[in-house]
Amino acid sequence: MSDSLPFVFEIVALNVWINNRHILKDIRDLRIPRNSVFAIMGPSGSGKSTLLKVLNRLLELREGVKIEGEVKFNGENIFNIDPIRLRRKVGMVFQQPNPFYNMSIYDNIAYAVKANGIAKRKEEIDEIVKQSLIRANLYEEVKDNLKRQASSLSGGEQQRLVIARALALKPEVLLMDEPTSQIDVVGARKIEELIIELKKEITIILVSHNPQQAARVSDYVSLLYDGKLIEWGPSQRVFTYPKSELTEKYVAGRMG
Amino acid sequence: MKSKVIFVLTLACLLFLFFPFSWILFDLIVKGLPVILSSGINFFTGIPPIPGDGIGGIGTVIEGSLFIVSIATLISIPISLLTSIYIVMNEGKKLSRISRFLVETVLEFPTIIVGISVFMIFAVGLGLGLNGLTGAIALGIIMIPYSTVQTVENLRQAKEQYLEVGYSLGLTDSRVVRLLISEGREGVTTGILIGLAKIFGETAPLLFTTVTSFNIYLRSINSPVSGIPVLIFNYAFSPYDNWHDVAWGASLVLALIVLLLFILTRVTTRRR
């Protein structure tokens, strides 16, 4: 495995069934370039979230899941990587902001840092918490009282706290499953700005059902439809000269 | 017009439900409060009176109840927590479904049968005898399903919300379980409080598992010990007027303890 590969993820071939329903159908040759924002678009039920959860092997926690194929992370087949080790490198942010409501802002970030043994000394942990909040553009808003309960934050702030929580583990990739769909417009814009900033350091794979958002923030984009990969490529090319009629329809808002 | 009729009917039902409850509470206060007031603080610390001689106190049985209930709680917490974790983390598996079914069945089990069984198995069979510990085992067994059902409910909610989050942060299985307990801890507390409220008022199992003695303070685990409901049961059916009064006072104390536990339950579940 090597960081010098141009792609963090490479889906060589992938089929997924959930309770004997074919959810992802023969997805092949999809490569996710390092330090980019890679958007996965598609109407609801097209398999976007399923694809995302294959990448950090979260999908396998569910009953009735069958996965076939090969997916490479830094050149190594993810199904040969210990899922715990994989997930520490591939963070995730969910649709619904889900901070730990029983914990303070500080503890939300420190929890996994301590549990995973990333840092032990208090000064070290303090620094990680601070840096993560800065990277998630939340530090200025909360620095006066990190002991505040996470539940006192607004939806958008909670989502940025969750991003900070994931960043604290220093992941190479951040999977984001429609991170702005439950957030108000202002909060959503801040998160979009954050996504663009973060790609300098990490790779972001963003599930979005909103083509405008994908056009605003992504470098590469793909379209899933009914579990099939319709097309993928540099966003500019896909949005201006879509190869498939389905993509053209979807981008124009005539589908989904 | 129709909605007015429904409103009146609803109100009538509500009053119908409310009436017996408020009547019991009113009766308890009218008959119990003067007894407590006449004896003052001594009612909570003193020894019950001999027939025909004043009020005294119910300190011995308050102590007894607290002792038995505390041990029962210590016995039931780890068991119900582990059971809940098993049920929630293995949902869908056969043993998890069976455990859940068993817990829900035991919940409706007559407590007097638990009392007899504990008497047969622990007091006689294992030779523990009749004492606070045996009583606590009986109450602990009664408490387990109450706290388990509630804990399962809340752990399941925490699982729904945080299982994937926990794993996505690279936590190990045991760390994820700890996270779920931490985030679902109000539910765990509520479960314990509901269980406590239930066993505080239990009489029947104690009749089988403890020596009925109201006049001795606790000296050791083997001391004869009894609880508030047992005193109420015995004194209410005695022929002495002053013992009837003590029973009323004790009933009010018991009602207030249970009421307090339910208020605490409300407080712990109200968050978010």
What is the CATH classification number for the domain harbouring A245? 3.40.50.300
CB B94 within 8 A of CB B162: no
Mean pLDDT (whole number) for A148-154: 92
pLDDT at A256 over 70: no
pLDDT in tens, A7-60: 999 999 999 999 999 999 999 999 999 999 999 999 988 999 999 999 999 999
- Mean pLDDT for B207-224 is 80
What is the structure's pLDDT at A255?
A: 65
Per-residue pLDDT of A98-129, as tens digits, reads 999 989 999 999 999 999 999 989 999 999 99
Q: What is the pLDDT of residue B248?
A: 94
Mean pLDDT of chain B: 89
Structural domain range at position B98: 59-271
Angle between the N-to-C axes of helices B59-89 and B132-168, in degrees from 0 to 180, rounded to the nearest 10: 30
Is the model's pLDDT at A1 over the cut of 50? no
B30 within some domain: no
Report the alpha-carbon angle B149-B201-B195, nearest 5: 20
Flag whether B31 is in a domain: no
Is residue B29 in some structural domain? Answer: no
* Residue numbers of the domain that contains A19: 2-251
Q: pLDDT for B97-131, tens place per residue?
A: 999 999 988 888 899 999 999 999 998 999 888 88
pLDDT, residue B272, reads: 46
pLDDT digits (tens, 9 = 90+) for A227-238: 999 999 999 999
The whole-model pTM stands at: 0.83
**Cα gap A250→A210, rounded to integer Å:** 10
Please give the structure tokens belonging to residue B144. 């387990």
In a domain, A159, yes or no: yes
Residue A172 lies in a domain: yes
Name which of A98, A107, A167 to mutate to probe chain B: the one with the most chain B Cβ atoms within 10 A of its Cβ.
Answer: A98
Q: What is the pLDDT of residue A235?
A: 92
- What mean pLDDT do residues B40-66 have? 89
**CATH code, B190:** 1.10.3720.10
pLDDT in tens, B201-210: 888 888 888 8
Mutate to test the interface with A, among B168, B171, B173, B186 (most CBs of A within 10 A): B168
Closest Cα of chain B to A5: distance in Å? 24
pLDDT digits (tens, 9 = 90+) for B123-148: 899 988 888 889 999 999 999 999 99
Q: Is residue A10 part of a domain?
A: yes
pLDDT greater than 80 at residue A5: no
Q: Under an 8 Å CB criterion, which residues of A touch B? A: 53, 56, 58, 61, 63, 83-85, 87-88, 91-92, 94, 98, 100-103, 111-112, 115-116, 151, 165-166, 169
Give tens-digit pLDDT for B227-269: 899 999 999 999 999 999 999 999 999 999 999 998 988 887 7
Task: List the A21-33 sheet strands across, edge first.
Answer: A21-33, A7-18, A65-73, A76-77
User: Would you tell me how many other CB atoms lie within 10 Å of the CB of residue A212?
Assistant: 10
Token look-up 């598609």 returns: A42
Q: What is the pLDDT of residues A177-214, one digit of tens each?
A: 999 988 889 889 999 999 999 999 999 999 998 888 99
For residue B69, what are its two tokens? 């209930």
User: What count of Cα atoms within 13 Å lies in the side-chain half-sphere of residue B262?
Assistant: 9
Compare all CA atoms of chain B with the CA of A173 and give the residue at the minimum distance. Answer: B168
* pLDDT, mean of residues A62-77: 94
pLDDT at A68 over 80: yes
How many domains is chain A built from?
Answer: 1
Once rounded to an integer, what is the mean pLDDT over residues A236-251? 89
Domain count along chain B: 1
Domain membership flag for residue A256? no
Nearest-CA distance from A254 to chain B in Å?
A: 34
For an interface test with B, which of A50, A55, A111, A159 has the most B Cβ atoms less than 10 Å from its Cβ?
A111
Q: Is residue B251 part of a domain?
A: yes
In a domain, A114, yes or no: yes
pLDDT of residue B268: 77
